[in-house]
């Protein structure tokens, strides 16, 4: 069965600093990987996804993520964070059926210092 | 993506009562899902809402507690029955849309439920 680990429960960065949120997955085949963001009191918004091809994927709001099969990782990055990026970030993995049966990580709460 | 709405956006209920949550999509979709997000936790899939047939429940969730309806391709309801404080959560619906090679899930804004 697939699983997702987000090792960092809470991260604080200064506005303008770079950001990397970690995500490690467990799945026997090529996974379908997603990053979602949840702002306070909101639903989940899709940031980006990886299915195949180029291992560096670009998303919305200036985010990118890199799929590394050898490390079973799909880390999310942003070169310069904005105060509006403060939110909860979830990594998710889907199996052979794609987006069906998504398994989510525990989430990483991002705080931005002014 | 699709425009997904949920009603109510939040509610406070007494234990022992039931609440029905509605999910409406602005286009016809084959796949609809219901998730629970307990306080400070991640999302857990409750069930897949199948149009024209019974929902498919995940381990740990049963139809008597979480009955689901899917009368058409744009609408679904989730009922939380005989509620207890442990049912206090955010309940989210999502839809699966074909984007490129495979499907991607898009989420509604959620229903925040507090059970007293």
The tens digit of pLDDT for each residue in A16-54 reads 999 999 999 998 777 889 999 999 878 899 999 998 888
In this prediction, residue A102 has a pLDDT band, given cuts at 50, 70 and 90, of: confident
The DSSP 8-state label assigned to residue A99 in this structure reads T
Burial class (CB within 10 angstroms; exposed 0-12, middle 13-18, buried 19+) of B50:
middle
CA A113 to chain centre: 21
Q: For strands A10-14 and A108-113, give the pairing.
A: parallel
At CB < 8 Å, which residues of chain A contact B?
32, 34, 36, 41-46, 49, 51-52, 90, 97-102, 104-107
Interfacial B residues in 97-116 facing A (CB < 8 Å): 100-110, 112
**Rounded Cα distance, B63 and B58, in Å:** 10
According to the model, what pLDDT value does residue B37 have? 94
């Amino acid at each position: 069965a697939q699983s997702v680990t987000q090792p960092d429960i809470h991260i604080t960065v200064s506005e303008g600093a770079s950001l990397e949120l970690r995500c490690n997955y467990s799945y026997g085949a090529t996974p379908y990987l997603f990053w979602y963001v949840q702002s306070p009191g909101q639903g989940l918004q899709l940031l980006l996804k990886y299915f195949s091809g180029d291992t560096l994927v670009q998303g919305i709001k200036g985010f990118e993520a890199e799929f590394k099969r050898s490390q079973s990782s799909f880390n999310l990055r942003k070169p310069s964070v904005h105060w509006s990026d403060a939110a909860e970030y979830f990594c998710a993995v889907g199996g052979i059926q794609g987006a069906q049966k998504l398994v989510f990580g525990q989430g990483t709460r991002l705080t931005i210092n002014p | 993506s699709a425009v997904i709405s949920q009603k109510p956006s939040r509610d406070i209920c007494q234990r022992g009562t039931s609440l029905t949550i509605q999910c409406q999509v602005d286009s016809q979709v084959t796949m609809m899902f219901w998730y629970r997000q307990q306080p400070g936790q991640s999302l857990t899939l409750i069930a897949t809402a199948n149009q024209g047939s019974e929902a498919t429940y995940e381990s740990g969730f049963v139809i008597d507690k979480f009955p689901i309806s899917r009368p058409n391709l744009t609408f679904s309801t989730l009922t939380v029955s005989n509620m207890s404080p442990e049912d206090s959560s955010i309940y989210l619906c999502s839809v699966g849309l074909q984007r490129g090679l495979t499907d991607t899930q898009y989420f509604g804004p959620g229903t925040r439920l507090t059970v007293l």
